[in-house]
Each structure stands twice: as structure tokens, then as C-alpha cells.
Amino acid sequence: MSGPITATDAEPDAAGPGRPEGPTVELVPSRAASVGGVDVRRALPRRQRRTIGAWCFADHFGPVAPDGPGGRMEVGPHPHTGLQTVTWLVEGEVVHTDSLGSEQSIRPGQLNLMTAGRGVAHAEQTPASYRGVLHGIQLWIAQPDITRDRAPDFAHHAELPDADYGSCRATVLIGELGGVRSPSHFEMGILGVELATAAPTDLILPVDAAFEHGLIVLAGGVALAGETVGPGVLAYLGRGRDELALDISGGSRVLLLGGPPFTEDLLMWWNFVARTRGEIEHAWNEWEGGTARFGRVASDLPRIPAPRPSWLPTT
């Protein structure tokens, strides 16, 4: 799942905001967008906060009923470069199809992780047989220079490890929390954890003080350091904590993201993550030209054309 990165989010070559040296609580409203007929709350990138570690994109969608507007996902074949896509569902079912030949259904509690590297294409849609609520999030991880030009890959994890913190279940999607490590492959220090609780819970999580962290509330709410956060707001927490104290309301689902600050140059346009405008232009031309770089996706959905980079002259 993907959508246009516009000037509202991150202009090409735009300088991002500074990073506090110590702990903070910075609240950043998400932006409303629509992708494949599904309304999303875009938490990353935003002008106020472009990245959290290597996490560079986050679209929270749903919950939406199947018979309501945007109740079914239909995202046709589209390309990616220089990133990993992370798909996580709270409710629903989505089928992933890519140019590597993968065709994989994902359900709540499972993880799809696609590594784009030098180039891959994929499509995502709600299967015709599914009639329930759709609710989840897709995230991107920027690949470092050492791996971003390698061959693409796809992995599905049917089960993920979790740990209990009182009545809160912490499921480790990627990285490691308190000695519990995800089997998913990651290329640099990074953390992605879902916190879920049926009853109100106060908890203290062990975290890496070298990481910056952020919270995205998928359902319910969470309070920390005198601030209350709900869906539609990213809470950026800065660095310097070795533990994180949270007060989570009953029925909540909260995503904790973290990683060391991403210090490499980062340029995003549409579905491409790169370092220079020239790289973006090359990828755009190859997708529009139908070259072999991105391969073919076996999907009945229409192929999505790439928008022209804003800095190129119109013809």
C-alpha cells in the first residue's frame, strides 16, 4: 500500500526538523489522504517530523466496514525502491502479490515484510471472500546505502513473539524488546512493537537510550509525561530514555517505533526512496517506460502510473 508523498509531507531535498538531544514529547497531527480507495491517516513523513530512526512512512487505515466508503483495498501494481514495507493488520485480510512471484494473504497477528532494494513492484487488495472490517497500518523502513541496491525480497511471518507487561501484550514485529526478538530480517538498529491491552494498564518498557522513539495509536489512547495521545496524532519521544512509562487505556492498540537517527541523505518521491533527484528520475522513467527493472505483477488491478517529479519541467 502506498500513496503520493507530496510537498505537504516532504519536499525533495527539504531539510527536516532538528532532533532534540534528550527525551521529549512532540505531538504531530497526521494528514488525511486516500490510497487505493481507502482513507488513511499519514503519520510519517510530515514537515514537523520526517523520520523516526529509519521509519520514514506510516499510513494508518480504518477501522472501516466492508460496505462503507473505502471498505475494500484495491491498490494496483506499483513500484518501490530503497525501502522495506511492513504491513500489520488489526482487523481484516489483505492479499499481497509482487513481481518476485509472491502471493500471500495476511491476517491480524501476521507480518508481511517486502524489501525493495534496487526495485520491486507489488499490488495489495482485499480478497473477494472477505466481508469484515478493515483496519491496519503500513510502514516503510528506509534502507541504508549498504543494502539499498541489492536484490528485492519478500518474507511472511505467520507468528511473532510477544511478552506480557502486566495485562499488556507486547508483540515484536521487528527488532528486539526486553530480550524478545522478532524473526523478521532488518538491516540496521530498529524497533517495531504493538502494545495491546483489554484493561487499563500502567507499564514501564525497557528501551534503548540511543534510539529515538515514537508512538502511533491504532485504537484507544495512551498517556505519557502529562500528554494524552489518540489516533491521528504521532507522539515523537526523542532519545535518551532507557525506559518508557505509559498509561494505556483499556481496549487500546499502540505501535511503538524506534531506531537510531537515520543520518544518511534521504529523498522520497511517490513510492521511491533514494538519495538524489537523478535516482528518482531514473526510477520514474523506468516504471513509466515499462522496463524490466520492476518486473511484472500477476494482478487484475490496473497498473498505477507514476506522477511526474515536481522539479521536472512540464512538456
Taking residue 62's Cβ as centre, other Cβ atoms within 10 Å add up to: 24
> What's the average pLDDT block by block, 10 residues per block, for the chain (315 residues)?
44 52 90 86 93 97 80 91 97 96 97 97 93 94 95 97 95 96 87 96 95 97 94 96 96 97 94 96 96 95 94 85
Residue boundaries of the structural domains of the chain: 23-267
Query: According to the model, what pLDDT value does residue 3 have?
Result: 47
pLDDT at 69: 67
What pLDDT does 12 receive? 41
Residue whose entry in the numeric block shows the C-alpha cell 527488532: 175
pLDDT at 9: 42
Measured torsion, CA atoms of residues 101, 107, 111, 117, in degrees rounded to the nearest 10: 30
Residues 202-254: tens digit of each pLDDT: 999 999 999 999 999 999 999 999 999 999 999 999 999 999 999 999 999 99
134 neighbors 106 (Cβ within 8 angstroms):
no
CATH classification for the domain delimited by 23-267, as one of 2.40.50.1040, 3.40.50.2300, 3.30.1330.10, 2.60.120.10: 2.60.120.10
Q: Residue 20, Cβ neighbours under 10 Å: how many?
A: 14
Intra-chain end-to-end CA distance of the chain, in Å: 30
Q: What is the pLDDT of residue 71?
A: 74
Helix (H) or strand (E) segment spanning residue 12: none
Helical (H) or strand (E) element with 287: helix 277-289
